[in-house]
Amino acid sequence: MIPHSRPAIETADIRAVTEVLHSRRIAQGGVVEQFEHGMAAYFGLPGGVAVTSGTAALEVALRALDIGSGDEVLLPSYVCAAPLLAIQRVGAIPRLVDIDLSSFNIDPSAARQALTPKAKAIIVPHLFGLSADLTELEALGVPIIEDCAQTLGATEQGRRAGSIGILTVCSFYATKLLCAGEGGMVLSRDESLLERVRRLREYDETPSLYPGSTNLKMTDLHAAIGLAQLERLDSFLERRRWLAEEYRAALSGVGLVVPNVPTGHTHTYYRFVVRLPDLASTADGLHDIIGRFEVRGIQCRKPVFRSLHRYLELDGFPFAEEAERTALSIPLFPALTDEDTAQILQALRSEWS
Ligand SMILES: Cc1ncc(COP(=O)(O)O)c(C=O)c1O
């Protein structure tokens, strides 16, 4: 079975971890610091603070901005549960916003309608490898937390996603564009915010206890993988783009919606998500298609398990719901072999030509 995702673990990653093991310094140390510098340089930012996961990064980002009880935080409904959980953990109020179906990202005009004077931040996940419309979102005048868990290297109007917001968060979970097993990071151009994140991440040997401090430290073992992957990130993204063009060619003219790349954007294809508009009126039409691909030895997935408004039992998110019913993620990752790719292309042609 070709899995939906598989990390690109190569000799360089294994060597990097082995070196850390040989050093006997396996907790947070110099390699974490190097990884922080490397990621900050990637975004063109002065600094980053590594933590244990993307979810933890979102939570400490909110705490660093002093967001808590009574404050509202905007976020899209069509995304994994991590941003919602982070908002709930700091005691703030989530204000869900519908998406733009053509990009799967938060719809800036819906965000404007959801704004109230209590809004203290907006979490902007860049979904599936495509930057959200940051130019329009900046015009809302609310601090932006960019969630780059699914997008590294994408640009919008020449600006790199992740380099614009007051804070940026990353995830290095096993399936991500750059993986470390687990891990996350908060980056910013504001050193005082980064210092707050550091104090939230660890509490040892500090002159006073900082409210909310806990242990969210990354280990050098994880950072070693991240750092080794960072060196190959550009080649990973190149391979992803090449695969995406192959899939596009196989699907051209077959009546389904392939990933849109809006003018002024570049896509990095964390996911290759197609839409099947015919399924808009079915409750679970994707289930059968996923089953047919499985018979062909290919694991496709719904790219978002459940829209967040459904967890909160809210109505009024028609585009998130349509995405949930019609969007299908086809495996695309740099570790796909040429045989895997040929098998996927063959399956796409048989299913839809
Ligand atoms: C958009 C987004 N934000 C945050 C996260 C959370 O990252 P992690 O799994 O590292 O906690 C994810 C993970 O799937 C994600 O897709």
Sole residue written with tokens 């980056």: 187
Residues 341, 283, single domain; the answer is yes
Residue 254's CATH number = 3.90.1150.10
User: What confidence category does residue 282 fall into, taking pLDDT thresholds of 50, 70 and 90?
Assistant: confident
Q: What mean pLDDT is predicted for residues 170-180? A: 98
Domain-ending residue, one of 205, 229, 253: 229
Same domain, 238 and 224: no
Total number of domains in the chain: 2
Q: Ligand 1, residue 172: give the atom nearest the CA.
A: 10
Residue ending a domain, choose from 168, 200, 229: 229
CA dihedral 246, 249, 254, 256 (to 10 degrees): 60
* Contact (Cβ atoms closer than 8 angstroms) between residue 45 and residue 240: no
Q: Which amino acid is at 63?
A: R
Residue 6 domain-assigned? no
- 147 in ligand 1 pocket by Cβ < 6 Å? yes
**Which residue, judged by its Cα, is nearest atom 12 of ligand 1?**
149
The CATH code of the domain that includes 113 is: 3.40.640.10
How much distance in Å is there from the Cα of 254 to the middle of ligand 1? 32
Query: Is residue 52 within 6 Å of ligand 1 at its C-beta?
Result: no
Q: Are residues 171 and 271 in the same domain?
A: no
Residue 154 confidence (pLDDT): 98
Residue to mutate, 5, 39, 55, ligand 1, most ligand atoms under 8 Å from C-beta: 55
Same domain, 211 and 127: yes
Alpha carbon distance 19, 307 (integer Å): 42
Residue 196 has what pLDDT? 97
For residue 84, name the pLDDT band (cuts at 50, 70, 90): very high
Q: pLDDT tens across 102-159, in order? A: 999 999 999 999 999 999 999 999 999 999 999 999 999 999 999 999 999 999 999 9
pLDDT reported for residue 207: 87
pLDDT digits 0-9 by tens, 181-233: 999 999 999 999 999 999 999 999 888 899 999 999 999 999 999 999 999 99
Query: Same structural domain for residues 239 and 217?
Result: no
Do 94 and 140 form a contact (C-beta atoms < 8 A)? Answer: no
The reply to whether 18 and 71 lie within a common domain is yes
Contact 292, 341 (CB under 8 A): no
Under DSSP, the state recorded for 2 is B
- 149 Cα–ligand 1 center, Å: 5
Q: What local confidence, expressed as pLDDT, does residue 19 receive?
A: 98
- Ligand 1: residue whose CA is nearest its atom 15: 149
* Residue from 129, 236, 144, 226 nearest 184 by CA: 226
Which residues lie below 8 Å from residue 271, measured CB to CB, with a gap of 6+? 128, 129, 150, 303, 329, 332
Flag whether the pTM goes above 0.95: yes
Is residue 353 scored above 80 in pLDDT?
Answer: no
The per-residue pLDDT of the chain, averaged, comes to 97
Of the residues 229, 264, 297, the one at which a domain ends: 229
What Å distances lie between residue 253 and 218, 258, 261, 296, 352, CA to CA?
A: 47, 10, 17, 22, 10
Ligand 1 pocket residue status of 322, Cβ below 6 Å: no
The verdict on the CB of residue 82 being under 6 Å from ligand 1 is yes
